Amino acid sequence: MKKILMTAAAAAAISMLAACGTKPTETVENNNDKIQVYTSFYAMYDFAREIGGDMADVHNLCPVGSEPHDFEPTASDMAALTEADLFIYNGMGMEHWTDSVNETLSGSDVIIVEASANVENIAENYDPHVWLDPENALAEMEAIADGFIQADPENSDYYTARLDDCRGRIEQLDNDYKTAVAGFTSHNIITSHEAYFNLCNAYGLIQLAVNGVDNSEDPTPTRMAEIIEFIKANDIKYVFTEPLSTSKIVQTIADDTGCELLTLDPFEGSTEDKGYFDVMYENLEALKTALQ
């Protein structure tokens, strides 16, 4: 009997500790006038804050550093989502988990935006990282702005003005890329994650990737050998990794071929709160180093 009581007491203590550990979800309280916007992962979060500015509270679901491809929302995420005004996700298979979220939200007042719905330049293999082509990023921002206007029509002028501002910066970005690419002597990039079809499509580059499009598959020995042969045959000097996942495989390839590592960011997350334009310009600098 004593033993049972002790066990019960221990269990109670553990559950109390656990309860203390949970942070109160700041997101549930909704005592200001701002619209509540939830986004599936960092790129969508950044676009939503570009458009929403001071008028919206934007919350990101998939924590930075987790793979957006494999994320599962927690129960408290789902509870918060049902109270939201707007839910924004990329689509095209980027986030496998949004189907069940959308099903749960269907019939509620939450406005759901699939940002990639009007994107025109789609890579042959439906690479979902469409925002790496600036034109596509603009199409996503337009879809997101439509969602904001639908959720908060009173402030439609504000959102339209912010979208126009983005449009100008996108044009500038696209021009800077085009100018740089004109000076490239090589067009082959070796990447750790097969995420750059859209970038390659837009600027005539060719990608050879070590891991698959959802960044979870290590290559077979055959594939490793192919990549090493390609690097040797094309006299490639740099291999690209990602800021959020250090790949042993890419390190091995670099060691075996004498290549140096550079960072190319698919903009799935940022631990330093970087924006889309910052990351795209950093990527451009890395590409210049490798290809000029």
Work out which of 8, 14, 63, 260 binds another protein, going by CB under 8 A: 63
- Minimum gap (Å) between residue 62 Cβ and another protein: 11
State how far the Cα of 292 lies from the Cα of 190, in Å rounded to an integer. Answer: 15
Long-range contacts of 57-66 (CB under 8 A, 24+ apart): 57/27, 57/32, 59/27, 62/95, 62/269, 64/244, 64/269, 64/270, 64/271, 65/244, 65/269, 65/271, 66/269
Q: Is 244 in the site for another protein (CB under 8 A)?
A: yes
Is residue 137 within 8 Å of residue 170, measured between CB atoms?
yes
| Structure letter (DSSP) for residue 128 | S
Region binding another protein by CB under 8 A among candidate stretches 5-13, 45-53, 58-66, 75-83: 58-66
| Structure letter (DSSP) for residue 219 | P
| Closer by beta carbon to another protein, 86 or else 253 | 253
Q: Is 66 in the site for another protein (CB under 8 A)?
A: yes
Q: Is 255 in the site for another protein (CB under 8 A)?
A: yes
Region binding another protein by CB under 8 A among candidate stretches 23-31, 62-70, 162-170, 171-179: 62-70
| Closer by beta carbon to another protein, 202 or else 254 | 254
State how far the Cα of 236 lies from the Cα of 253, in Å rounded to an integer. Answer: 12
| Closer by beta carbon to another protein, 67 or else 142 | 67
- Minimum gap (Å) between residue 91 Cβ and another protein: 22
Q: What angle do CA 240, 67, 264 make, to 5 degrees?
A: 20
Work out which of 30, 104, 155, 251 binds another protein, going by CB under 8 A: 251
User: Does the CA dihedral 23-24-26-27 come out positive or negative?
Assistant: positive
Region binding another protein by CB under 8 A among candidate stretches 34-42, 107-115, 167-175, 250-258: 250-258
- Minimum gap (Å) between residue 42 Cβ and another protein: 12
Is residue 247 within 8 Å of residue 241, measured between CB atoms?
yes
Q: Is 252 in the site for another protein (CB under 8 A)?
A: yes
| Closer by beta carbon to another protein, 138 or else 253 | 253
| Closer by beta carbon to another protein, 108 or else 246 | 246
- Minimum gap (Å) between residue 88 Cβ and another protein: 22
Give, for 114, the enclosing helix (H) or strand (E).
strand 111-114
The mark string for 212-241 relative to another protein (x by CB under 8 A, - otherwise) is ---xx-xxxxxxxx--xx------------
With contacts defined by CB under 8 A, how many residues of the chain interact with another protein? 29
Alpha-carbon dihedral 96, 98, 103, 104, rounded to 10 degrees: 130
Q: Residue 6: count other Cβ atoms within 10 Å of its Cβ.
A: 10
Q: What does the binding site for another protein look like in residue numbers (CB under 8 A)?
A: 63-67, 70, 215-216, 218-225, 228-229, 244-246, 248-249, 251-253, 255-256, 271
